[in-house]
């Protein structure tokens, strides 16, 4: 049974799903209208950043583009819409337009950010994620002042751009302690997955453009209930097409709100390049010392030729 707040959340979700999947303009304009929002770039190389107000702020990330964006799919119109429907039988949103999918990747993530914007955390909505993290890359390479400020002033980074349900993924930008922290904060049956993939947090939390002695915030990508992403509607033909399970989206929204509304969120940082190199140097020296120590003794450690101990 849905609560009143769930009904409001569903209204917001459907507002984002209604926006044309052929262009990110509608989503970016919505966030750019927020107080203190800063929009930079153009085309696929752009983003909107809304700074948070909390001392323990976290950066919340989603991307405005879909795989049907006209900027890199000329056959698609900027006005292309999924004309979605909700199936009460399976509790899923589906596209009814055979020319495109639902666009839940990542309009459902953008709706998450909109519902969480009252928590005082920073918001970052990028463009061009589907075309190689273009907006995030533009931020870290062409806006070094803002990239440095974001990396230095946030406790960690949370993206809402993961398919399926109850999954989290840190790629190579989250420490083991951070993974355990996220799993514990979100509660069972949340679990980490290690399949390959790309996401904006790889760019935002990576070492590109970062001085060797500086660390970066850890990052995690959370499931939003989207399934079979990037697949257009099958219509009456049946088969797989992009869909979004409402109950799964609402469940992650509740978990994220409960976690991120808490006070004094801890900082989780990735080691700096200099620290990693120092650790590698230390381990190489330890390995070399161990080899020298083993070579100093003429001891037969094999079992061959040994007699059994007397009983």
Token readout for 120 is 């005082």
How large is the average pLDDT for residues 134-158?
Answer: 96
User: With contact defined as beta carbons under 8 Å apart, do 110 and 60 qualify?
Assistant: no
Q: What is the pLDDT of residue 276?
A: 56
pLDDT band at 286 (very low <50, low <70, confident <90, very high): confident
CA distance 35 to 195: 38
CA distance 220 to 169: 6
Q: What angle do CA 124, 45, 23 make, to 5 degrees?
A: 80
What pLDDT digit, counting tens, does each position of 247-281 carry?
999 999 999 999 999 989 999 999 875 565 666 66
Range in 191-205, 226-240, 287-301 the model is least confident about: 287-301
Entry pTM: 0.87
Q: What is the pLDDT of residue 278?
A: 62
pLDDT band at 295 (very low <50, low <70, confident <90, very high): low
CA distance 48 to 45: 11
Q: Does domain 4-270 have CATH number 3.40.630.10?
A: yes
pLDDT at position 304 over 60: no
User: With contact defined as beta carbons under 8 Å apart, do 209 and 140 qualify?
Assistant: yes
CB atoms within 10 A of CB 104: 33
Range in 79-83, 234-238, 281-285 the model is least confident about: 234-238
How large is the average pLDDT for residues 8-32?
Answer: 97
Token readout for 169 is 């993924």
pLDDT at position 57 over 80: yes
Token readout for 59 is 């950066």
User: What residue segments make up the domains of the chain, in order of their start?
Assistant: 4-270
What proportions of the chain, in percent to the nearest 5, are helix, strand and coil? 40, 20, 45
Q: What is the pLDDT of residue 234?
A: 65
CA distance 284 to 286: 5
At residue 225, the 3 state secondary structure works out as: strand
pLDDT band at 196 (very low <50, low <70, confident <90, very high): confident
- For residue 60, list its beta bridge partners: 123, 158
How large is the average pLDDT for residues 229-244?
Answer: 74
Q: What is the pLDDT of residue 72?
A: 84
Distances (CA, A) of 87 to 95, 121, 226, 246: 11, 34, 15, 10
pLDDT band at 237 (very low <50, low <70, confident <90, very high): very low
Distances (CA, A) of 128 to 41, 208, 220: 11, 18, 19
CA distance 56 to 36: 18
* Sign of the alpha-carbon torsion through 143, 148, 154, 155: positive
Give the H or E element holding residue 217: strand 216-217
């Amino acid at each position: 049974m849905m609560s009143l707040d769930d009904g409001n959340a569903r209204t917001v979700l459907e507002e984002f799903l209604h926006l044309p999947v052929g262009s990110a303009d509608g989503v970016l304009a919505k966030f750019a209208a927020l107080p203190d929002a800063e929009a930079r770039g153009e085309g696929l190389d752009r983003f909107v950043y809304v700074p948070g107000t909390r001392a323990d702020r976290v950066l919340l990330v989603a991307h405005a583009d879909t795989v049907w964006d006209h900027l890199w799919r000329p056959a698609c119109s900027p006005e292309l819409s999924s004309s979605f429907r909700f199936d009460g039988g399976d509790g899923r949103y589906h596209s009814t337009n055979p020319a495109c999918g639902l666009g839940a990747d990542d309009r459902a993530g953008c709706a998450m950010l909109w519902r969480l914007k009252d928590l005082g955390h920073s918001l970052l909505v990028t463009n061009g994620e589907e075309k190689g993290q273009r907006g995030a890359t533009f931020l870290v390479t062409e806006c070094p002042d803002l990239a440095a400020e974001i990396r230095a002033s946030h406790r960690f980074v949370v993206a809402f751009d993961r398919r399926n349900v109850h999954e989290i993924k840190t790629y190579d930008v989250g420490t083991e302690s951070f993974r355990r922290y996220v799993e514990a904060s979100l509660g069972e049956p949340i679990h980490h997955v290690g399949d390959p993939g790309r996401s904006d947090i790889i760019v935002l939390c990576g070492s590109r453009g970062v001085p060797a002695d500086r660390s970066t915030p850890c990052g995690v990508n959370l499931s939003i209930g989207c399934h079979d992403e990037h697949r257009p509607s099958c219509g009456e033909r049946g088969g797989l097409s992009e869909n979004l399970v409402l109950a799964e989206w609402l469940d992650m929204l509740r978990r994220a709100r409960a976690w991120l509304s808490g006070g004094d969120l801890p900082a989780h940082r990735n080691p700096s390049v200099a620290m990693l190199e120092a650790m590698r140097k230390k381990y190489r020296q330890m390995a070399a010392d161990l080899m020298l120590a083993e070579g100093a003794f003429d001891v037969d450690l094999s079992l061959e030729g040994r007699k059994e101990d007397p009983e």
